[in-house]
Amino acid sequence: MKALNSIVVVFMSLFLLTAFTGSLAAGDFEGTVKQRYSYFTLDDVPHEFSSEQAAVDFIFSRSVEQLKSFVAENGGADLFEQQTTTIRIKGDRYRIDTSQEGQDVSLIYDLSNEKMITLQHAQKVAMETSMGEMMGMFDDMSDDDMDQTDRDQFSLQSTGKVKEIHGFQCREYVGTDEDGDYLQEWIHVDDIDWYASLVEAFQQMDMSGEGESEEMGKEEAFYRKVGGLPILSKVVSMGDVNINEILSIKSQSVGDDMFAIPEGYKKVNMQQMMQMQMDSMGQ
C-alpha cells in the first residue's frame, strides 16, 4: 500500500481506532489522540535479506526509529515517509487533522446531526455532506478490496511478549492479516473509556446501512475477543512496510470552534474538492 492521499489516510486513522472491537459500553471522553503513520518499501533499500521471512523478522524486531535510521543509511532519509494525525474528541463530535505533501486537511464528524465536514486549509474551502454519503463511498472502495481477499488467511496469535510502547503496556501478536500479509500488533488491553465511546459512535454510523454482517470473520472475532487498542501495528506486504502508532492520549478541554467551519472558508461540493486535491498533487 503506497502512501495514500490525505482523505484516505484519514479514513485509515478511523479504522485503526475502531478495529472491530465489538459492542462496548459507552464512555465519556474529551481530549486529543495523536497517531503517526509511516511507510517505506524494501525495493528502495539496497540491502539483501536471506529470505522474505528474514526481512519480516528484521522489521518486526526493530523500533520505528531504528527502521527510519536503517532506511536512511541504506537508501536515503527521504524514502521513509511519515505523517502525524491529531484526533480531537468531544462527546459525539470528532475532528481529525492531518497533512500530506504540504496539504493540511481536517475531517469533522457530528454524529448528532449526521453530518461530515471536510476542510482543505490551503485553499480555505469546506465541503459539508451527510456521513452516509461519504462513508458509503469509502465502503464501496473497501468492498472492491474485499473481493480480492480471503478472510480465512487471518492468523494473529499472541507471542506472550509484553512491552511498554509510548507509555502503554502492550502485548505482542504476530501472524497474517485477511490478505495473508505479515502482521505484527502491540495491543494495549485495558479499560479506555474514550475508546469505548469512539467505537460505539462509529458503530452507530452503520456505514453499509444494513447493520452488522451476518457472518463474523476471523479478524473481527479476534478483535472482539481481545478488546484492546492497537498501539503499534506493522504490516509487510510484498516489500511494502506500513506502520501505525498511537503516540499519545490526553484528556483535555476541546473548544466547540474545532468542530465548525472556520470563518472565511468557501463551501464547495465533492467534485470540486476532489479536483482541488488532484490539482494540488499535480495530477
Q: What is the mean pLDDT of residues 234-242?
A: 96
CATH 2.50.20.10 fits 6-280, yes or no: yes
pLDDT exceeds cutoff 60 at 222 = yes
Give residue 228's pLDDT band: very low, low, confident or very high (50, 70, 90): confident
Q: Which residue do the cell numbers 501495528 mark?
A: 233
Identify the pLDDT of residue 281: 63
Identify the pLDDT of residue 270: 83
SS3 content of the chain, % helix, strand, coil (to 5): 35, 35, 30
pLDDT exceeds cutoff 70 at 148 = no
Give residue 153's pLDDT band: very low, low, confident or very high (50, 70, 90): confident
Greatest alpha-carbon pair distance for the chain in Å reads 57
If one counts every other C-beta atom within 10 angstroms of the C-beta of residue 210, the result is 8
What stretch of H or E contains 227?
none
> Three-state SS for 85?
strand
| Higher pLDDT, residue 254 or 3 | 254
- Span 157-175, pLDDT tens digits: 999 999 999 999 999 999 9
What stretch of H or E contains 106?
strand 103-110
Reported as half-sphere exposure (CB side, CA atoms, 13 A), residue 24 has a value of 29
Of the spans 101-105, 118-122, 186-190, which averages the highest pLDDT?
A: 118-122
Q: What is the mean pLDDT of residues 262-279?
A: 85
Identify the pLDDT of residue 191: 55
Q: Which grid coordinates are listed for 85? A: 494525525
Q: Could you give the percent of the chain with pLDDT greater than 70?
A: 71
Q: Is this structure's pTM higher than 0.75?
A: yes
Identify the pLDDT of residue 142: 54
Q: Which grid coordinates are listed for 72? A: 536512511
Across 5-31, b (16+ Cβ under 10 Å) vs e yields bbbebbbbbbebbbbebeebeeeebeb
Of the spans 59-63, 108-112, 198-202, which averages the highest pLDDT?
A: 59-63
Give residue 214's pLDDT band: very low, low, confident or very high (50, 70, 90): very low
What does the domain layout of the chain look like in residue ranges?
6-280
Query: Which of 83, 19, 2 lies closest to 225 in space, CA to CA?
Result: 19
Q: Which grid coordinates are listed for 270? A: 465533492
Give CA–CA dist 12/93, Å, rounded.
18
Identify the pLDDT of residue 144: 54
Identify the pLDDT of residue 100: 64
Q: What is the amino acid identity at position 48?
A: E
Helices (H), 173-261: 193-205, 218-226
Identify the pLDDT of residue 54: 96
pLDDT exceeds cutoff 80 at 141 = no
Of the spans 24-38, 199-213, 241-255, which averages the highest pLDDT?
A: 241-255
Name the average pLDDT for the chain.
79
- Span 124-134, pLDDT tens digits: 999 998 877 76
